[in-house]
Amino acid sequence: MTAPPRSDALVFFGATGDLAYKQIFPALQALVKRGLLNVPIIGVAKAAWTVEQLRARARDSLTHHGGLDRGAFEKLSALLRYVDGDYADQRTFAALRGEMGKAERPLHYLAIPPSTFPEVVRHLGESGCGTNARVAVEKPFGHDLASARSLNDTLHSVFPESSIFRIDHYLGKEPVLNLLYFRFANARLDATLSRDHVDHVQITMAEHFGVQGRGKFYDETGAIRDVIQNHILQLATILTMDAPVGHDVEAIRDEKVRLLKAIEPLDPEHVVRGQFRGYRDEPGVARDSKVETFAALELRIENDRWAGVPFFIRAGKCLAQSAIEIRVQLKKPVRDIYHEGAPASEYFRFRVGPDITALAVGMRIKRRGEPMVGRDVELRAWEDQARDMLPYERLLGDAIKGDADLFGREDSIEAQWRIVDPVLDLGAPPLSYDPGTWGPVEADRLIPAGWHNPIETQRAA
């Protein structure tokens, strides 16, 4: 198969924003350093800046996030351009067309609020900047199923589906890619991941911190929209999907969509929403806010491989620690030949962040000296993530190459919204919980076996 042509310019809207400062400039420097980015990089924003101020912002970003590499930064600085203007003003896009020069296949990266997507996309089409171009858009991709469909229609008015790259930065993380590789590179493990062997699955995405000054954004979003609809459903999909058929770019994405379509829409009776005490005092948060900062739920996959296996998911802010972990609890042996009456202790535990990648296997072994009496042990393998490729380095590099493997497809995004749509904007206020805990105690009723909290220490993980 012939590789698609590389983009010959990178335009990023929102060049003066927080995402660009913390994530994008470090990723761009890394791409330049590896020799993978040598095209004009045009920042667009309304800040009354000059290109020199943008370069200064990039330098400051790299000084505080990831480290300044003088040689790579000089090359990056030479590639930077800047267009200042309002996204609603067609003159901004005329100026952009001029800065693009001879570029014929630009990548437009929209690191801007989703509410501005339609206007920017329309102007890209009308100005000619969208001709033969690609577009990368940030999450949240829509606010619910209806808005996601509307946004897809807007993008398709200018760009074909093959030129649209919907970013979920978790899919660019090394631990998530490692989980995908581990699934299908180890045939015996993959055979174990089914209703014949699995009792239930738990997925925890916990953050020990709060909204960190993003109160207004979070109060319009909440935990279900912020991480469950995208990050967690993607993790669940990678864990449970069937092996892809074929090697083309759509093979994995086809299997993901097939799995997502097999997930039943969430039942409000199996969802517990919480809000940490003190959330309503955060700047930008409504004093009577009913937005959840924690959600726990049960979902079911109605296909031959997973029918009958419950998946228990929880995510939240101001919890006891920060950890992203998947625990696959295996079924008890059919016969308890040693008459111990012990609970099921065989499991797989995948730690996929934030600081380490880990795989652990839980099992029972004989106690030393005791006559056929066992104890639980865990075998662990772990890696530090400090030297992993930056997620945006991988994703922007792939988008420039036209490699869509790690990006959401139209039907995948809509399938994810279909799953969570019934539990968005529930009228009941969320339950209160204290910061530093594992959320409201009512979440415990979802899972008879009890939640398994991630192990805290890095070595133990």
Write out the DSSP string of 182-246: HHHH-HHHHHHSSTTTEEEEEEEEE-SS--TT-HHHHHTTHHIIIIIIIIIHHHHHHHHPPPPSS
pLDDT score of 190: 86
Q: Find the mean pLDDT for residues 333-358.
A: 78
| DSSP tag of 43 | E
Tell the residue number behind the tokens 């517990």, with chain if given: 272
Distance, CA of 40 to CA of 62 (rounded, Å): 19
Mean pLDDT, to the nearest integer, of 343-358?
81
Considering the four listed CATH numbers 3.30.2350.10, 3.40.50.720, 3.40.50.1820, 2.40.30.10, the one that applies to the domain covering 9-138 is: 3.40.50.720
Alpha carbon distance 129, 178 (integer Å): 37
Out of 75-84, 271-280, 380-389, 410-419, least confident range: 380-389
Contact, 20 vs 10, CB < 8 A?
no
Q: What is the mean pLDDT of the chain?
A: 92
The pLDDT score that the predictor gives to residue 355 is: 66
The DSSP secondary-structure symbol of 23 reads I
pLDDT bin (cut points 50, 70, 90) of residue 461 is very low
User: Where in the chain do CATH 3.30.360.10 domains reside?
Assistant: 171-389+428-446
* Average pLDDT rounded to a whole number, residues 21-33: 96
Model confidence band, residue 343 (pLDDT cutoffs 50, 70, 90): low
DSSP 21: I
pLDDT digits over 185-207, tens only? 988 888 899 999 999 999 999 99
CATH 3.40.50.720 residue spans of the chain? 9-138
Supply φ then ψ for residue 369, to 5 degrees: 85, -20
| pLDDT band, very low/low/confident/very high, at 283 (cuts 50, 70, 90) | very high
The token pair at 314 is 């929880």
Out of 156, 231, 247, 339, the active site residue is: 231
pLDDT of residue 387: 65
Provide the token pair at 8: 């010959």
Give the separation between CA 79 and CA 92, rounded to whole angstroms: 20
Among 228, 265, 267, which residue's Cα sits nearest to residue 140? 228
| pLDDT at position 416 | 97
Domain 171-389+428-446 has CATH 3.40.50.2300: no
231 is catalytic: yes
